[in-house]
Structure 1
């Protein structure tokens, strides 16, 4: 007998059942029925051990369901009007950022000045357009880890982890300037929009009680009292802000 004829399925155990079938064919053609039988039986055992193939239609359906689930999860974290993150996502991320010492963190609470006048003068359709455009302008120029979320109504929040205070102030001030200088009259003749913001900064953010958000809220109202269209922060040249101590 040749070398091929003397090799049994116990001596050579290929992982692929097709290899066993090929060896069975070779041995059978040479009259080695016992060796052919052993390889054929090994091929059958391997095929039984393998999971059945997944039909293409089922695989496509599973992929579709995964995409829909991912889309639904994303939409559940986005504000329906502005498409920035919603309050649900904001609260979750703030819990993560404020729950342990993770370095510096700046939060800027932003409010559209006199937004009720926009709705009363131009209508709620214009109000929704203003909300979307303000959200778009707030997102521009954010640092890599920063994000914008709708806090509620006409209020937004910029969350800026791992930045220096001067950089955080610069981001908020540039956002304020972009919105003030935007050609709003191209949306509705006579329309103008500005924002006020309160920015709270901590070099070591470990505040599970959200003290920073409270400080940002106080600073926002200081900016409003000072005449609106301003960014207020600790050390800002206004006595009410300088004296504020959370």
Structure 2
């Protein structure tokens, strides 16, 4: 790594300065740049030097370098699974960087905050940090800039913006290739391979894996657990569980070894191994792998992994014919998923919006803000956007004396779709429902997904009769949609509760509560119907 860094200059351009002990500020800055670039490849070797660099900077009064060292430590802690500590460090440094207008620290702290929120499962908030993290890094050394593009690409990917993610990965790969940064090239190719796997493009995934192996062999690099997990997943995609287990063998045989470079790497490998064991007819080995994954998820506060363990256990019990146990695990999975989604919604509702100050950032602000306000599965607006817009629309209606209708739509017995078919089919149903809702409304009206199978429609300037007729037409359209190729003979219907503000004083929460009351009435009356204010009188 030192040879690769010989032509890379750090962000400091001031004249040389030395502390009282003869330590050069420039030499410490160069060391920190080395640590920043080395963390992704060998974070264990970085921890000690980062702590020493932090103490040296503090002793000499170089606060900006002290903060850089803190961020390196925070990055390491996150990779060890100590995510909460990582988040506290990133937030503290970000606040200091804002106060002192330090662009480099703004870039680095926003990047770490993006990683922190992505680990928590808050993709929208991660995006509000990843975008400025990349923007502030525009004058950083090339490989630092590339690492920020990678973070942005990963966050765009989890927000469902695959084309934009691919553009950022391509830009980062160009930099990495130009600087012969083989580990970074492999990181980028691994992420592209996993995306190809998720999109069922196994041929492309195989081609990318071949490139990874070629680069690793050419540079004598050992592939760590995260890369091996991707390769094992691709093997499973081809229906080759024994091959997947062989790929994962170095990690499974040495779970505390140097190949486990991230806090979630070992649990992810164990989940993949459990699936391979189950597919290969080895239920006891699968159960043991899931038990260890569950233990690590609890120890490291990995809520998403913990939920997936319950799902994997349900599938395992179903495979072995223990259907009561499978049902119990599925209920735990559903509860854990709902709790995770609830926590994510809470974080999104209270997360501060990132402030973009550069000209390029201002051009990108609305684009990224729109992504942060969209539900990644369906592309509809999310609860965060509803919370922002509904209060404003209520105030406008009260001020101007206009009407405002709100409808809550809930798919009937949606759990049966997931239980009968799969969550993948359930997701496709949600996407098609969202497409129907999205085409049914036009600005200034809006359609949003609140979570699960619940949606909301906000219809400014719509009187009670028109709102009720519109919702009835929408209900019929949903019921009459050709669902057979997805759900067979299982119908997809919706219950809708709609309320209308016609005057006086109200609030967003009051309208939502009234719509929810009518939705409950629609369900109680037999479902697949619309209940509005007049129909309850």
- Match for residue 88 of structure 1 among 384, 395, 406: 384
Show CA shifts across 1:121-146 (max 9, x none): 11100111111111111223325421
Question: Bigger radius of gyration, 1 or 2?
Answer: 1
> How many Å separate the matches in 1 of 2:360 and 2:467?
41
Distance 2:508 2:440 in 1: 29
Give TM-score, length-normalised by structure 2.
0.32
Matched with 2:465 is 166
Cα distance between partner residues in 2 of 1:185 and 1:224: 24
**Greater displacement, 212-221 / 143-152:** 143-152
Give 1:220 shift.
Answer: 0.3
Question: Which structure has greater strand proportion?
Answer: 1
Residue 218 of structure 1: SS of its match in structure 2?
helix
- Alpha-carbon deviations, 1:152-175, whole Å to 9, x = none? 211000000111211111211111
Matched, 1:77 2:373: yes
Q: How does 1:32-43 map to 2 (within 5 A)?
A: none
Distance 1:206 1:75 in 2: 33
Cα deviation, residue 186, structure 1? 2.1
Pairs within 5 Å for 1:186-225:
186-204=485-503, 206-208=505-507, 210-225=509-524
Runs (5+) with no aligned partner, structure 2: 1-138, 140-357
Secondary structure in structure 2 of the residue aligned to 1:150: strand
Paired residues of 1:110 and 1:197 also in contact (CA < 8 A): yes
> TM-score, with normalisation over the residues of structure 1?
0.67
Cα separation, 2, equivalents of 1:231 and 1:211: 19
SS in 1 for 2:440: coil
Matched, 1:116 2:390: no
* CA–CA separation in structure 2 for the residues paired with 1:197 and 1:208: 20
SS in 2 for 1:140: helix
Q: Flag the structure with higher helix content.
A: 2
Kindly indicate whether structure 1 or structure 2 has the higher relative contact order, using CA contacts under 8 Å at least 6 residues apart: 1
Q: How does 1:1-246 map to 2 (within 5 A)?
A: 65-99=361-395, 101=398, 102=400, 103-142=402-441, 144-204=443-503, 206-208=505-507, 210-236=509-535, 241-242=536-537
The size of the alignment, in residue pairs, is 179
SS in structure 2 at match of 1:99 = helix
* Corresponding residue of 1:10: none
Partner SS for 1:149 = strand
